[in-house]
Amino acid sequence: MSRLNYHHLYYFWRVATLGNLTEAARQLHVSQSALSAQIRTLEDNMNTRLFERQGRRLILTDQGQRVLTYAGDIFKRGEELEALVKRGIAPEVQQLRIGVLSTMSRNFIEGFITPLIERRDVRFSLHAQGMANLLNGLRNHQLDVILTNTNVVSEGQQDLWQSQLIANQPVAVVGPDGIIDGDSFPEGYQEKRWVLPAPQTEIRAAFDAFCSRWQYEPDILAEADDMAMLRLLARDTGALTVLPTVVVKDEIKQGTLKVHMTLPNVFENFYAVTVKRQFIPPVLTDLLESQ
């Protein structure tokens, strides 16, 4: 069985992370033809294509994405090992790159990162993006973990991802105090206006099913797929809304909004997603264990 040539793998890693063969050749002080030959040798030894050419661009194949993930781990660990050998200590500051789904509750995100704030040995960055960009960031080793309220098993390529359920939050009907007469649904909710999650969301589907069971038709003022926008609409329109209570915890504490009813057996799930690999940053392990 042939052994992996780490010299070839290193060249592949530099080209893949830079995204430019010319710049990689310049930084590595080799010719473009020699660099291309090294990568072709790696592809031949692995019996797989790592790049596809689109015009003058090199695009990673699916296998190339997987190889890049492992290469990133290998050479990042190599840099840490070199620092450890030279200085005799582990890195003084651990870096953690966290991707967050752009439509998620900022209150939940703040709660997630709270254990990091008091640590002087950690520096972290937050990157709010759509799901496709987040998964690409994980795949390309640009992010260490992503936070999402969607289980990535449904996104395809689930063999790449490791998804951990870190919290679930109850979903409630929230609105101004005094707007509802009575304690049962649908009495007291007639002719009330609503700002609701967008139709394609899981929370909206659960609320629609709940209304259907009671033969109740909500009068919809607005819809939004962004929790921050729903929070603002709920606070400023005087309408009722449906969302996880964590989204409006400050407004509830201040008395601006009130929980009128918790929907039975309806929760929003929050996941931390990483790439399936052998090593993850120790600070990330600590963070996930603290949730």
Long-range contacts of the stretch 184-187 (C-beta < 8 A, 24+): 185/214, 185/216, 185/261, 186/214, 186/215, 186/216
Q: Please state which of the ranges 27-36, 178-187, 241-250, 260-269 shows the lowest mean pLDDT.
A: 178-187
Residue 244 pLDDT? 93
Q: Return all residues near 89 (Cβ < 8 A) that are at least 6 apart.
A: 83
Q: Is the pLDDT of residue 81 over 90?
A: no
Asked if residue 73 lies in contact with residue 82, where contact means CB atoms within 8 angstroms, the answer is no
- Whole-Å CA distances, 21 to 17, 33, 51: 10, 10, 11
Residue that has been written with the tokens 């031949």 in this structure: 44
Q: Is the pLDDT of residue 136 over 80?
A: yes
pLDDT tens digits for 199-235? Answer: 988 899 999 999 999 999 999 999 998 888 999 998 9
Residue 259 pLDDT? 94
Q: Return all residues near 216 (Cβ < 8 A) that are at least 6 apart.
A: 185, 186, 189
Asked if residue 92 lies in contact with residue 123, where contact means CB atoms within 8 angstroms, the answer is no
Asked if residue 284 lies in contact with residue 145, where contact means CB atoms within 8 angstroms, the answer is yes
Of 72, 66, 74, 125, nearest in space to 95 by CA:
125
CA–CA separation, 83 and 76 (whole Å): 11
Q: Residue 93 CB: number of other CB atoms within 10 A?
A: 10
Residue that has been written with the tokens 């996104």 in this structure: 155
Q: Spell out the domains of the chain, with CATH numbers in brackets.
A: 6-86 (1.10.10.10), 89-168+271-290 (3.40.190.10), 169-266 (3.40.190.290)
Q: Please state which of the ranges 64-68, 71-75, 110-114, 283-287 shows the lowest mean pLDDT.
A: 71-75
Helices (H), 118-187: 131-139
Q: Is the pLDDT of residue 246 over 70?
A: yes
Q: Please state which of the ranges 98-107, 144-153, 165-174, 217-226 shows the lowest mean pLDDT.
A: 144-153
User: What mean pLDDT is reported for the chain?
Assistant: 86
Q: Is the pLDDT of residue 86 over 70?
A: no
